[in-house]
Each structure stands twice: as C-alpha cells, then as structure tokens.
Amino acid sequence: MLLEELVKVLNRVRETSSREKKVAIMADFLRNLDDNDLKNVVKLISGIGRINVSWGTIARAVGLSQGEDIGEMVRRSLLEKRKQHSLVEEAVTVEELIDLLSYLESLKGKGSSEKRVALIRSFFRRLSPEEAGFVARCITGEMRAGLSKGLLIEAIGRAFGRGDISKAHTVIGDLSELALMAKKGKLQVSPKLFSPISPMLAESCYSVKEALEEMGIAAFEYKLDGVRVQVHKEGDRIKMFSRRLSDITDRFRVELDLKCESCITEGEIIGLGLDGRPVPFQILMRKADIRREILFFDLVYLNGKTLLDTPYQERRKMLEEISDKLVPRIVTDDQKRAEEFLKEAMEMGHEGLMAKKLNSPYQAGVRGRYWLKIKPGLEKLDLVIVGADWGYGRRSRWLSDYYLAAYDEERGTFEVVGKTFKGLTDEEFEKMTGKLLSLAVKEDGKTVWVKPEVVVEVAYDEIQRSPKYRSGFALRFARITAIREDKSPGDADTISKIKRIYESQFSRKSAKW
C-alpha cells in the first residue's frame, strides 16, 4: 500500500469536524485493507511502538531550527524546496515506513545519531511535503491525525461489525493486533500472552478507617514507589510491559523467578539503596546501576487459564504458589492492626497502603473502588504539563516554569491548576525543554503551549480556591517530585479529585480562629 493513500485519508479525517464523519471515513478505509496493511496502518496512526526520535534529529535532517509543530514545519520546508526542482522517485509504501521506524529504533551506541540523521534525510528525499510531515510525526511520536484513540477504536469496531471492541481493547492493548482479530472475526476478551493488558487502577481514600468502612474486611498491601510492570512468561520467553503498554524488557533488568509454564503477573519494580531501603522514583529511573527488585501483587493468567473474573483472594493464593517475591500484605478488619501496618510501610520508606476487596475481579482498564490507595497527608498529584515559560537569568535557555493541569471530566479538557519552576535539576530542565519544544502547538510571547503529553508527580502544601484559573483551584507551593515517564495523560488526576482533596482539608484543620 502506498503511503500517499494513507496520508490522503488522514487529511480528509483532519479536515472534518464531525465525529461521525471521522469514524465513517476511517472505517471505510480500514475495511478494504489486507491483513498486513491493516496492522501497519493502525500501528502508525495509534503510535504503537513509537520510537520518539528527537525533534533535533529531524531538524538536522532537513535543516530547520526550533519552532512549532514538527510535522507542519517539515511539510512547509520541503514544499518550498520542491518549488525549485522536482524529483522522480519510486513512491514510498507504508511497509517501507514501518521498516524505517524499526531500523531507527535498533540503532544504538556511538555514531547512531549521525546514522539516524542520514537515514531520515535520504528517506525524506522520496517523499512529498504532505508525506514528509506525516513521517516526521510518526518518527517523533507526535501523531496529529485528527483521530483520537477512542475514535480509532470506534472506527475499527464499525469497520468489522464489532460492538464489543472497547471491552476487548482492555485486554488486548495492541490496537494493530486488535484490528486484525476483529477483521478475522476472532475478537477475544481474555488475555493473550505477550499482548499487554490495560491495568486495573485504584481510587483514593484518606484513611484505613474509610477503607474498612467501605470494604468490611480487606487485604492491605504496601504501596510501593516504583515502576508498575506486567510480566508475560511462556516457557523461557519473558517480556515486561509498562502501565502504558510499552515493552520495557530491555530497560529494566531484574531477577524473575516465576514457577509456571505460562503466566501474566503484575508487579512493581523498586530501586534499593545501600541500606536496603527503597530509593525515590526519580533515582530509580535515572540511575542505570541502581540495584532493582521486583515484587509481585497480582496474577491474571496462569497456564492457559484466564483469571480476570477469579476473586482477588484466590488470585493471590495462586500467585503465592509461583513466586516468593511478593508485596507484603495482611488481611484484616481490625482498624488498629491495619494502621500499624500503614505505619510500618511508611517507616520502611514506602508510600502507604493499597486496600483491596477480597472478592474483587480484575477489571482491566477500569479505575474503581475495588482497590483503594491510602497515602497519609495530602496526596501527591499526577498532572500534565500544558505549557511552559522561558526562564530568567541562569534558566533563560530553558523552558523552566511549567503550567500544570488536571483533567476536567465535564469539559473534556486539561485545565491549569498551578505553575512551578521547582523540583528539576539542570539536566532535567535541559531534557524537558527539548521534549516540550517537540510537543509545541503555539507560542504566546515567552510562553510555549504544548500538547498534553508529559506527566509529572507534584507535591504541594495546600489546595486553594482560585479565580485566576478556569479550573477554580490552585496549588500552593507546588513542586515537581518526579517525571512520570511510565504514565500517560489518561492517567492524570482529575479536577473532581482535586475538589475532593480540597474539601477534605477542612476536616484536618481547626474550626476555631
């Protein structure tokens, strides 16, 4: 299939504002593709396996300087050059683009950057300006096809008459694989080895007492400050996936001792200091030589049997039979005992506790109250950077004052709840500047507004009402405590959660003044 065919269809999608028309255009297109083209097209549109080659690499390949959307810049730049001369080249196929992305990803070590620049420059010579803009976005992982993930899933379902496509997506995270299964009429809603499952998520609560009042008797587990991973094993083959469903097998080397022929388990990778205590998340992510350990907390598939509907307590017993590396836990309805366990977890350097309902199923992709996370004090928030100001003085060469946003469920947008320039090192400011420039959508004076992509963990002293921000709230003394590379914008906290925390503050304050 020619790349120009895909680009033309995506341009049609981008040019219509109607949700219904977007889905219809894409469904008609997908319906007529063969198996190989279907997988490749969905892979490109959804960004599966994106390699995130930097903006700077693309810029060097085509001779650009910093600016707005990389795809549009490349398109315009090549359009200008093509006015001066025409090239006769064989048209590029979608499969060739997939091969290029795969090869760029494989380049490692000394000289790899120059090789990438040369490959991209050579490939772009064969592209039309429109195609080049699309390819630039594919390479950098900044796809702007006018088609959200939700619309793409809906289009796949409509193309092949599968109304249960959204449910299936929670257990088949790879959209290209899901599309092929839907086409063949073999859509499944049970886990498949080496196809990552959307993780089950927890709601917040603010005390052991609240958890016990809701659950009666519960399992309490240490809440670790690490990288959540999903481990798939079959025989000697093992792969690890992040909560964003990315393959991170080669990124984190940990000892895995799973006594099973095949399984899908969930765990947390933590870093350990010289004293054996857990290190902060940032250290875990930054230091390649840190000692790491994985502790498992759930099991969703074992030796050919799906366990999604198996009660949590039974899943845990099965997990205990295949691994000794488990997150510490107790089962109790005694508030005092659970509070002592919470104190123990905190003293050992962990974040708090997870409370889990004993008879709960594993709800892939769902955030609910079968699981509750308990963190003492004001809970840190996972927020998205939606803009940044250029700094002053020593920080003048960096985007270093960040607009932090939470998701407004009513408006369907990310709304600013505060700003901060605190928490990052000079090295992190440098890397963050490059990342945000690659996500830029517009500039307004010293402010660069960006696509909501980067998630950061934020601590603060208090939440206040604010007439300044449309969200109605502002964080007092906000500071970034971690860059959450393992989380996507969909994992960000919401305005409704901030409102709940705001209201809960008063129960811990004096009523007299």
Residue the block writes with tokens 């630039």: 136
DSSP code at position 490 = G
Q: Which two tokens stand for residue 376?
A: 């003492």
**Cβ proximity of 211 and 323 under 8 Å:** no
β-strands 201-205, 367-374 pairing: parallel
Give the active site residues: 223
How far apart (Å, rounded) are the C-alpha atoms in residues 294 and 298?
A: 12
The pLDDT of residue 512 is above 60 = no
SS3 assignment, position 273? coil
Per-residue confidence (pLDDT) for residue 331, from 0 to 100: 98
How far apart (Å, rounded) are the C-alpha atoms in residues 247 and 257?
A: 19
Q: What is the pLDDT of residues 256-289, one digit of tens each?
A: 989 999 999 999 999 988 888 898 877 888 788 8
For each of the domains in the chain, give its residue range(s) and CATH number, in order of start.
Answer: 206-374 (3.30.470.30), 381-507 (2.40.50.140)
DSSP code at position 506 = G
The pLDDT of residue 414 is above 90 = yes
- Closest Cα partner for 476 from 461, 491, 466, 488? 461
CA atoms within a 13 Å half-sphere pointing along the CA-CB vector of 282 = 12
Per-residue confidence (pLDDT) for residue 511, from 0 to 100: 40
- Closest Cα partner for 127 from 137, 141, 140? 137
How far apart (Å, rounded) are the C-alpha atoms in residues 181 and 257?
A: 32
Q: Which two tokens stand for residue 235?
A: 């025989």
Extract the annotated binding site for ATP. 221, 228, 243, 268, 297, 367, 373
Residue the block writes with tokens 């709840």: 417
Q: What is the pLDDT of residues 15-27, one digit of tens each?
A: 888 889 999 999 9
**Mean pLDDT, rounded, for 438-458:** 91
pLDDT band at 149 (very low <50, low <70, confident <90, very high): confident
How far apart (Å, rounded) are the C-alpha atoms in residues 31 and 156?
A: 8
- Most confidently modeled range among 81-85, 140-144, 365-369: 365-369
Q: Model's pTM, two decimal places? A: 0.68
Q: Render 268-281 in DSSP notation, one character per residue.
A: EEEEE-TTSPBPPH
